């Protein structure tokens, strides 16, 4: 269970930026200073700082956040909001731009529902495949559930459902797995806080990171399939059962990965189309959505190529196995055809008739042996001449 809140970057203001004894700016007296921080803050200054934008990132665990009541005592310690220190007893007015819920418990979900006035979908509802249950608008809040590829580098890749909720100026992500794109985007936000300037920016940043990860997976799959192709069609391959088993396993893994990637791309494309229909987004956001849609389409075409390549290699590998099996069966067939005439001769002279002149003949036995050898060598020579051996 882990929940994180990210706030928009704040712009810090220095004392030089503010006029001395400006109108409406009530400076705290020495008695109003917090002795534990010894930082002088005005009410107007705090509100201006909380509403401003800047370059400092705000990222902290929700469990570490303490609710500060607006009517708190003046002697309470100041509430830390990003790099700002608000006056004692003053609650921050800025809403987080991103709340990331990773395997939340029931109490956390209830707190989010009460805080934003929404109904968070359950884990079972997130698995539903109908479009109306995955993409919908509920009283101004956008609910979008997509399938994201997880653990792609392992032998057991999985597709996990992630729900994005855009409510007011906050993005809420609900997930029960930890895909790499979320880790990567969180690290990028720490390095470049401007990526989390708004909930829309966070949403697009996450979607772009997911699409980039899918593109990397497709590139790795193509490289792996090239190695498999070289192994299948290589003249130096020994064609052992173990080699065929390994090739089939790798082909099956690539096919499984491609199918899950296509499913994720299909969900992302539907989500991009759904977002394009929303009037709340600005022109620059719409432009990023169009670029994202084009990237999804191009990667989907690449995924189709990978799926076709997988089918081709699977058919080729099974064809190679069938050829080797046919060669083995052919050897037995030739052997059976070659030894059929000697068996016939031996069967004739093995009959227990009373009158068989060759049985009493001095050269009868050598003649029978010679006939059997010639009848065996003759077919073998004929098969060899025809190229059947």
Domain range summary for the chain, segments of one domain joined by +: 1-94, 192-330, 339-386
330 contact partners, CB below 8 Å, separation of at least 6? 388
d(C-alpha 353, C-alpha 370), whole Å: 22
81 contact partners, CB below 8 Å, separation of at least 6? 7, 10, 50, 58, 92, 94
Entry pTM = 0.69
76: helix, coil or strand? Answer: coil
Looking only at the bridges linking them, the beta strands covering 170-175 and 98-102 are parallel
**What's the average model confidence in pLDDT over 65-87?**
34
Whether pLDDT at 200 is above 80 = yes
DSSP calls for 260-317: HHHHHHHHHHHHHHHHHT-TTS-HHHHHHHHHHHHHHHHHHHHHHHHHHHHHHHHHHH
**What's the average model confidence in pLDDT over 330-345?**
83
Residue of higher predicted confidence among 15 and 69: 15
Counting residues of the chain whose pLDDT is more than 70, the rounded percentage is: 76
Condensed to tens digits (0 to 9), the pLDDT of residues 351-360 reads 777 777 777 7
Mean pLDDT of the chain: 79
Chain centroid, CA 87 distance in Å: 44
Q: What is the pLDDT of residue 344?
A: 84
**What's the average model confidence in pLDDT over 259-286?**
94
Whether pLDDT at 74 is above 80 = no
61 contact partners, CB below 8 Å, separation of at least 6? 2, 3, 4, 5
d(C-alpha 343, C-alpha 356), whole Å: 18
Q: What is the pLDDT of residue 2?
A: 66
Q: What is the pLDDT of residue 88?
A: 37
- Tokens 């036995």 locate to 365
Counting residues of the chain whose pLDDT is more than 90, the rounded percentage is: 51
Q: What is the pLDDT of residue 231?
A: 87
pLDDT band per the 50, 70, 90 thresholds, residue 252: very high
Q: What is the pLDDT of residue 362?
A: 79
Condensed to tens digits (0 to 9), the pLDDT of residues 122-170 reads 999 999 999 999 999 999 999 999 999 999 989 889 999 999 999 989 9
**What's the average model confidence in pLDDT over 295-323?**
94
Residue of higher predicted confidence among 13 and 193: 193
Instruction: Provide φ and ψ at 174, rounded to 5°.
Output: -120, 120
Asked if 161 contacts 147 with a C-beta cutoff of 8 angstroms, the reply is yes
Condensed to tens digits (0 to 9), the pLDDT of residues 285-299 reads 999 999 999 999 999
Whether pLDDT at 117 is above 60 = yes
Chain centroid, CA 103 distance in Å: 18
Q: What is the pLDDT of residue 237?
A: 58
**What's the average model confidence in pLDDT over 223-235?**
89
The CATH classification number of 192-330 equals: 1.20.58
Whether pLDDT at 75 is above 80 = no
Whether pLDDT at 30 is above 90 = no
Question: How buried is residue 349: exposed, middle or buried, by Cβ count under 10 Å (0-12/13-18/19+)?
Answer: middle
């Amino acid at each position: 269970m882990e929940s994180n809140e990210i706030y928009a970057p704040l712009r810090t203001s220095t004392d030089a930026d503010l006029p001395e004894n400006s109108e409406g700016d009530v400076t705290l007296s020495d008695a109003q200073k917090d002795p534990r921080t010894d930082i002088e803050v005005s009410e107007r200054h705090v509100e201006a700082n909380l509403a401003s934008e800047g370059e400092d990132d705000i990222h902290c665990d929700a469990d570490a956040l303490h609710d500060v009541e607006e009517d708190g005592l003046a002697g309470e310690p100041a509430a830390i909001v990003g790099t700002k220190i608000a006056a004692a007893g003053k609650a921050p007015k800025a809403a987080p731009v991103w709340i990331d819920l990773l395997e939340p418990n029931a109490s956390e979900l209830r707190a989010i529902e009460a805080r934003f006035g929404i109904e968070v979908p359950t884990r079972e509802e997130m698995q539903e495949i109908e479009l109306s249950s995955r993409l919908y608008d509920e009283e101004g809040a956008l609910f979008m559930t997509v399938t994201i590829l997880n653990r792609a580098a392992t032998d057991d890749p999985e597709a996990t459902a992630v729900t994005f909720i855009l409510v007011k100026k906050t993005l809420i992500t609900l997930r029960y797995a930890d895909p790499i794109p979320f880790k990567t985007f969180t690290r990028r936000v720490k390095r470049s806080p401007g990526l989390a300037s708004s909930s829309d920016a966070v949403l697009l940043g996450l979607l772009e990171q997911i699409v980039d990860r899918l593109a990397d997976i497709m590139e790795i799959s193509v490289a792996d399939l090239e190695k498999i192709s070289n192994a299948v069609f290589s003249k130096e391959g020994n064609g052992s059962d173990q080699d065929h088993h390994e090739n089939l396993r790798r082909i099956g893994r690539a096919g499984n990965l491609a199918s899950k990637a296509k499913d994720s791309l299909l969900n992302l494309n539907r989500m991009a189309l759904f977002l394009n229909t929303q009037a709340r987004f600005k022109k620059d956001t719409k432009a990023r959505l169009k670029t994202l849609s084009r990237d999804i389409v191009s990667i989907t075409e690449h995924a189709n190529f990978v799926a076709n390549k997988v089918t081709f290699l699977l058919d080729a590998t099974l064809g190679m196995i069938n050829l080797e099996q046919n060669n083995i069966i052919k050897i037995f067939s030739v052997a059976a055809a070659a030894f059929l005439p000697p068996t016939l001769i031996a069967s004739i002279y093995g009959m227990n008739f009373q009158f068989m002149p060759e049985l009493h003949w001095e050269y009868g036995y050598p003649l029978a042996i010679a006939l059997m050898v010639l009848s065996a060598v003759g077919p073998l020579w004929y098969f060899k001449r025809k190229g059947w051996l």
